[in-house]
Amino acid sequence: MAKPEWLKVRVEPGDTAVAEVRRVLREKGLSTVCEGARCPNLPTCWGGRTATFMILGEICTRSCRFCAVPHGKPLPPDPAEPVLLAQAVRELGLRYVVLTSVDRDDLPDGGAAHFAACIRAVKEATPEAKVEALIPDFSGDREALRQVVEAGPDVVGHNVETVRRLTPRVRDRRASYDLSLFVLKTLKELHPRLFTKSSLLLGLGETAEEVAEALGDLRQAGVDILVLGQYLRPTPRELPVARYLPPAEFSLWAERAKALGFRAVVAEPLARTSLRAAEVYAELTCAS
């Protein structure tokens, strides 16, 4: 299936901002999901001197069939990572930081304490920076979720990824649609005023009725920010694209989502969880 024109990303050669972000990341030994997950927005985000940092290593303990992040047996967490991360954020002059991670089912708390340490380190080094945490499900451990929330992130996201029917085919067997909804509901229970966020990748074979059901479920879970993007097959090892949705269809879903009560919606073919995250946060805080 040929990729349509609206999904073709144009990269400007010799972008000095992109080179600077890459230099700092390499010097600090840090990873980004931009590279690990082959995000289509890397040129745009890095060109704007922003990046979504991937903590807790580059090896995931789960093997979801939509994701190109390597899976296997990861190394122990690097105790120096919170400090190195905070230094990178300060050196790059970031005002909004997105932190995400691989799944770490090998750790008793799923990596929640390390996640919390990274949030605190960034906040202490750059108090003016806002921090968004895009977290795994921590196997539904409420105490692990509490550790992250109490670290003081400004936004916490957890992605349901796809509709209920497709979840067993798309995601690792240890993930589940209901577990993700539980995580999102629990975040709101722990901190009702915290902005929560989730996303769906479309084009995996879902029906319009299933998407509508998922949007309703996410609203019932108290999700404030919704992101809808086109699934793009990272490598031949992952699931094939079932359908490419035109931009107009994303616009229609955005209208329906806003009518359901989501406080902010980002819906476009190349949208990913961190796309325009700073702008969305600014809009929500100005409106509050």
pLDDT tens-digit series, residues 56-95: 998 999 999 999 889 999 999 999 999 999 999 998 888 8
pLDDT at 46: 57
* pTM value surpassing 0.95: no
Nearest CA-CA partner of 270 in 247, 241, 237? 247
Burial 19-47 (b: 16+ CB within 10 A, else e): eebeebbeebebbbbbbbbbbbbbbbbbb
Residue 226 · residue 256 · CB < 8 Å: no
Q: How far is CA 97 from CA 45, 52, 277, in A?
A: 12, 7, 9
The residue assigned the tokens 């699934």 is: 231
pLDDT at 95: 86
What CATH number has the domain spanning 15-287?
Answer: 3.20.20.70
**Can you tell me the distance from the alpha carbon of 164 to that of 119, in angstroms, rounded to the nearest whole number?**
31
Nearest CA-CA partner of 42 in 60, 64, 21? 21
**Can you tell me the distance from the alpha carbon of 120 to that of 127, in angstroms, rounded to the nearest whole number?**
10
Q: Taking the CA atoms of the chain, what radius of gyration do you get in angstroms?
A: 18
pLDDT at 59: 94
Q: pLDDT band for position 26 (50/70/90)?
A: confident
Q: How far is CA 221 from CA 51, 148, 182, in A?
A: 28, 18, 8
**Residue 112 burial class via C-beta count within 10 angstroms: exposed 0-12, middle 13-18, buried 19 and up:** buried
pLDDT tens-digit series, residues 235-287: 999 999 999 999 999 999 999 999 999 999 999 999 988 888 888 999 999 87
DSSP state of 71: B
Side-chain-side CA neighbours of residue 102 (13 Å): 27
The residue assigned the tokens 């390597």 is: 70
pLDDT tens-digit series, residues 89-148: 998 888 889 999 999 999 999 999 999 999 999 999 999 999 999 999 999 999 999 999
Residue 149 · residue 187 · CB < 8 Å: yes
- Is the pLDDT reported for residue 45 higher than 90? no
